[in-house]
Amino acid sequence: MYNLSNEIKKISEKNPNEPEFLNAVKEVLDSVAPVLEDSKYEKESIIERITEPDRQIAFRVSWIDDSGKIRVNRGYRVQFNNALGPYKGGLRFHPSVNMSIIKFLAFEQIFKNALTGLPLGGGKGGSDFDPKGKSDAEIMRFCQSFMTELSKYIGADKDVPAGDIGVGEREIGYMFGQYKRLRDTYEGALTGKSVVYGGSLIRKQATGYGLVYFTQNVLNHHGDDISGKKVCVSGAGNVAIHAAEKAQQLGCKVLTLSDSKGWIYDSEGIDLKVVKDIKEVMRKDLSLYKESRPNAEYHSGKFKWTIPCEVALPCATQNEVDAESVQNLINNGCKIICEGANMPLTAEALKIVLNADILYAPGKASNAGGVAVSGLEMSQNSMRLKWSSEEVDEKLKGIMKGIFDNISEAAAEYGEPNNYLMGANICGFKRVAEAIMKQGAV
């Protein structure tokens, strides 16, 4: 049987200077400790195999800015595990991107993708390129250069990237165009494409909508309903906007959003038309919100979750919610935190939440709607057909319900029925481990 602290020590020594990755590994291994009591996992070296990526690729991306100067960034793709299907996971363009962050995201993605029940392995990629303040032409030249190298490693049956922070429909379009030109093949090697040329309806909305469907499932299970709830959301990107949109459609009042510069509080409920115009059309910051909604508040700096709410949906980035913030939520009577972002709670904040009287769902379960609809986009591309919005939305609802049912069953089986972190990690881990064990010494 495994000695877990020994294993964690070995992994830490093998991956120095990778705090985000090590944090993600520790969280999963801590949760699955009761499963690992079965000695078959140790016999089959599952921890060693599941924590070592199949391969991690880093490459130079040279591109020419509008002044004619050659600029250099670093690109990454971590192909972590393909026991269940082709590597699948987003690309992040943000100056903070490094190998530790990409490895942590790829590691989380393995279990998230397993939870969807679709045939998807786990991977993630990106670059330290900062899309902010760049012209469309600069974004295009960067994406083309990035894909010139990435195209050597991906393919519809091999590795299928999508969007993440800083990568949306525009960037996917430029990368898809370049991939097609290099390969001379029209295949679904990327998801999150525009619906104009092979994207799935509802993909853009899927992570945010799925998050709210998931939250509704948890609340229903506890004899409650999302309708009429006060909701705080952080972030103002793809996930945050569509989470807020679905919450409003289901009768919630959404009070806050945030971005990297500051946050807004609108006691009458956020006007998403104004937000979409600022963030998606003008690509500016939320300080402009007050120009259209003078009664709203704008605060520069970090959002500390000080506005009382019943539902909290962190949808910006990792480690955005610290101990003080979760304490604010708990003190103000928040009932549930469901993660739209990947690992938005710091390890310290998570510890507080797990010991408090508040429901909590980890991102690998609650934000899996995005990659699930990416899986459906892959199916539609392979079949050369297109499902209606209603069809995709129904499938998304079914997948989110399936994830909740499975993880709550796993949590109950291991004696902690409300511990959805444990349920998600156990359920995802067991699926991947079973698949690895059936495929021999790979």
Nearer to ligand NDP, 36 or 286 (CB): 286
Least Å from the CB of residue 283 to ligand 2IT: 20
One residue of 82, 200, 217, 238 binding ligand NDP per CB under 6 A: 238
The C-alpha atoms of residue 210 and residue 270 are separated, in whole angstroms, by 20
- Select the span of 3-11, 54-62, 224-232, 335-343 touching ligand NDP (CB under 6 A): 335-343
Q: Which helix (H) or strand (E) holds 255?
A: strand 253-258
204 binds, among ligand NDP, ligand 2IT, none (CB under 5 to 8 A by kind): none
**Residues 110-169, interacting with ligand 2IT (CB under 6 A):** 112, 162, 164
The C-alpha atoms of residue 88 and residue 35 are separated, in whole angstroms, by 26
191 binds, among ligand NDP, ligand 2IT, none (CB under 5 to 8 A by kind): ligand 2IT
- Select the span of 56-64, 88-96, 126-134, 222-230 touching ligand 2IT (CB under 6 A): 88-96
3 state DSSP class of 24? helix
Nearer to ligand NDP, 207 or 216 (CB): 207
Active site includes 26? no
The C-alpha atoms of residue 258 and residue 241 are separated, in whole angstroms, by 10
- Select the span of 74-82, 130-138, 344-352, 370-378 touching ligand 2IT (CB under 6 A): 370-378
Sequence-distant (6+) residues with CB within 8 A of 40 are: 437
Long-range own/partner contacts, residues 96-99 (CB < 8 A, 24 or more apart): 96/128, 97/126, 97/127, 97/128, 98/128, 99/18, 99/56, 99/58
Residue 315 engages ligand NDP in binding (rule: CB under 6 A): yes
Nearest CA among 316, 237, 228, 322 for reference residue 276: 237
Nearer to ligand 2IT, 370 or 423 (CB): 370
- Select the span of 29-37, 85-93, 248-256, 284-292 touching ligand 2IT (CB under 6 A): 85-93
Report residue 198: phi and psi, to 5°: 120, 0
Q: Which helix (H) or strand (E) holds 90?
A: strand 87-93
255 binds, among ligand NDP, ligand 2IT, none (CB under 5 to 8 A by kind): none
**Residues 368-397, interacting with ligand NDP (CB under 6 A):** 370
The C-alpha atoms of residue 272 and residue 257 are separated, in whole angstroms, by 10
One residue of 89, 121, 208, 428 binding ligand 2IT per CB under 6 A: 89
**Residues 148-167, interacting with ligand NDP (CB under 6 A):** 163-166
The C-alpha atoms of residue 243 and residue 211 are separated, in whole angstroms, by 7
Least Å from the CB of residue 235 to ligand 2IT: 13
The C-alpha atoms of residue 220 and residue 217 are separated, in whole angstroms, by 5
The C-alpha atoms of residue 220 and residue 199 are separated, in whole angstroms, by 32
Dihedral (CA of 252, 169, 102, 5) sign: positive
The C-alpha atoms of residue 265 and residue 90 are separated, in whole angstroms, by 30
For 434, other C-beta atoms within 10 Å of its C-beta total 14
Nearer to ligand 2IT, 341 or 350 (CB): 341
**Residues 260-299, interacting with ligand 2IT (CB under 6 A):** none
Least Å from the CB of residue 134 to ligand NDP: 13
Catalytic residue among 124, 134, 230, 279: 124
Sequence-distant (6+) residues with CB within 8 A of 192 are: 90, 162, 163, 167, 168, 169, 172, 199, 203, 204, 374, 377
Least Å from the CB of residue 70 to ligand 2IT: 30
- Select the span of 84-92, 193-201, 224-232, 292-300 touching ligand 2IT (CB under 6 A): 84-92
**Residues 317-356, interacting with ligand 2IT (CB under 6 A):** 342
Least Å from the CB of residue 286 to ligand NDP: 8
Point out the residues that are catalytic: 124
List interacting residues with ligand NDP (CB under 6 A): 163-166, 207, 235-240, 259-261, 279, 285, 315-317, 340-342, 367, 370
